[in-house]
Structure formats: structure tokens, C-alpha cells
Amino acid sequence: MIRKNRVVAIDGPAGSGKSTVSSTVCQSTGWIYLSTGLLYRAVGLIGEEKGLNLDDEISLGQLIDSFKDTLRWDSKTGHIFYQSRNLSPEIGSVRSGNNASRVAKLPLVREKLLPIQRSFITMAHTGVVMDGRDIGTVVYPEADLKIFMIASLEERAKRRILQLSKEKSPKKPQTFSPELLTDMMRDIAQRDLQDSSRKSAPLKKADDALELDTSGLTFDEVVEKVISLMKERKLLP
């Protein structure tokens, strides 16, 4: 039985701002941030390193079975560790994201990761902000607040390019060439299609979720909006 914690579920497509907004909201409120997408990225990364076919759900299911003794989530830093190795710096790439979307469409993978995702909630000593694709519909449908965060395809592509650029060269300004922007938009559109069309727990807005379009909003404005919604639900003083 899951311990009753205050939970905010933030779902939405790739690049809508879920992760950075969720993380910053938690920094501001003292809540714990949990990105369930990190688990799918971890499965994709380790599976690829072990030479597994990322479309073979039986092999991936066996890999996940071994996670219970080797996988650890640090609720303070939000990092995922596998056999004491911090995977977080390695799973932010576009390739990692595409692999995550690829393994996430497999029903057995989702089935086996579900109890792990839910168990992470019980580790929290305070409220939890969870982000992903199916938090409000599958992982934790009883969440106190559900937000479905969206943004235009172009805006999401620009954010992703900027994020990757900062990771590689933090002090170097990023320019959006037409070719680079087009390629990133194509990649994100492909992920959208995979996430929304998969048979198991597809990306979709929960019936009782509040839609938040972040297009044209500054980062701070989005964070303030989420915190405002939490206050409206009496989750914060």
C-alpha cells in the first residue's frame, strides 16, 4: 500500500519543460522531484551497453528484474545510480531520449517499472512532484494535482537545443540554424508519435488534469504558475 504523500503529477510531451520546471518548483518549495523518465532512459542505456535488442521486451524485462538490487534513486539529488555508477550525466542525450521512448512502448517494460516508480514515492519525507508521460493516468492517478504541460513544436525544439548546448559549452551562446532547428523538430515530432501511439499507457491528458501551455511564457512565469496551482489546491501555505 502506497503511503499517502502529497503528489503533483506533471505530464506532457518531450521538451514541454516538465523536468526543469518540476525541479525548480521543488527547490522553491522543499518538495522532492522525481522524474520517472529517468528509469526508461536508464533501461535504454544499460540495455544498449549490454548489447540487448531494445525491441525485445523479454530481455529488457529480465534486465529490469536485476535492477532491484543494483538501481538506486537519490531523492536529494534526483540522480539514478546503477551498480554505484551515476547514470544521470549520461542519459540526457537525444539518443538516450529516443531509446527511452523506444523501450517505453513495450508493455512488459512499463509493467515492471511501475512498482519501482510507485515505490520511489514512499521514500519521500515530504511532497513529491513527478513528471513523465503517464503519471496522472497510470503511475499515480490519485495525485492531488495533475498538470498537462504543452508547448509548440518549435518552442520545444529550441529549448532542447539550448539545453544540449549548455551541457556541452555552458558559456557559449547558442544560435538556432534552420537546419539544426528542423532536425530537432523532426526528432521531437517522432518522439511525440511514439509516445502517443504506443498501446501501453500512451501519452495523453488525464480527464481531470489542468492544461498549461508554456509557449511564450518565461521559465519563471511557468514555475510561478505551477506553485500558484499548488497553493490553490491547498498543497502549499
HSE-CB for 64 with a 13 A CA cutoff: 27
Helical residues (DSSP H) of 144-236, grouped into ranges = 153-168, 178-197, 219-232
Answer whether residue 228 is part of any domain. no
Answer whether residue 230 is part of any domain. no
Report the length, in residues, of the chain. Answer: 237
* CA gyration radius, the chain: 17
Quote the CA–CA distance of 29 and 31 in Å, as a whole number. Answer: 5
For 115, the grid coordinates are 512498482
For 233, the grid coordinates are 489546491
Answer whether residue 16 is part of any domain. yes
Per-residue pLDDT of the chain (237 residues; tens, 9 = 90+): 344 679 999 999 988 989 899 999 999 999 999 988 889 999 999 999 999 999 999 999 999 998 878 888 887 788 889 998 999 888 888 788 889 889 988 999 999 999 988 888 877 778 999 998 899 999 999 999 999 999 999 999 998 888 777 766 666 666 678 899 999 999 999 989 988 888 888 899 999 999 999 998 999 999 999 999 999 999 999
Quote the CA–CA distance of 129 and 126 in Å, as a whole number. Answer: 10
* Torsional class of 141: left (φ above 0), alpha (ψ -120 to 50), beta (otherwise): alpha
Whole-angstrom CA distances from 128 to 8, 165, 201 are 6, 29, 21
Quote the CA–CA distance of 207 and 209 in Å, as a whole number. Answer: 6
In total, how many domains does the chain have?
Answer: 1
Answer whether residue 51 is part of any domain. yes
Quote the CA–CA distance of 103 and 214 in Å, as a whole number. Answer: 28
Answer whether residue 4 is part of any domain. no
What is the domain range of residue 145? 12-221
Answer whether residue 156 is part of any domain. yes
The per-residue pLDDT for 30 is: 93
Domain of 92, CATH number, reads 3.40.50.300
The per-residue pLDDT for 172 is: 63
Are 134 and 82 contacting, i.e. CB atoms less than 8 angstroms apart? no
For residue 147, the one-letter residue type is I
Are 209 and 147 contacting, i.e. CB atoms less than 8 angstroms apart? yes
Answer whether residue 231 is part of any domain. no
Quote the CA–CA distance of 131 and 36 in Å, as a whole number. Answer: 6
Answer whether residue 92 is part of any domain. yes
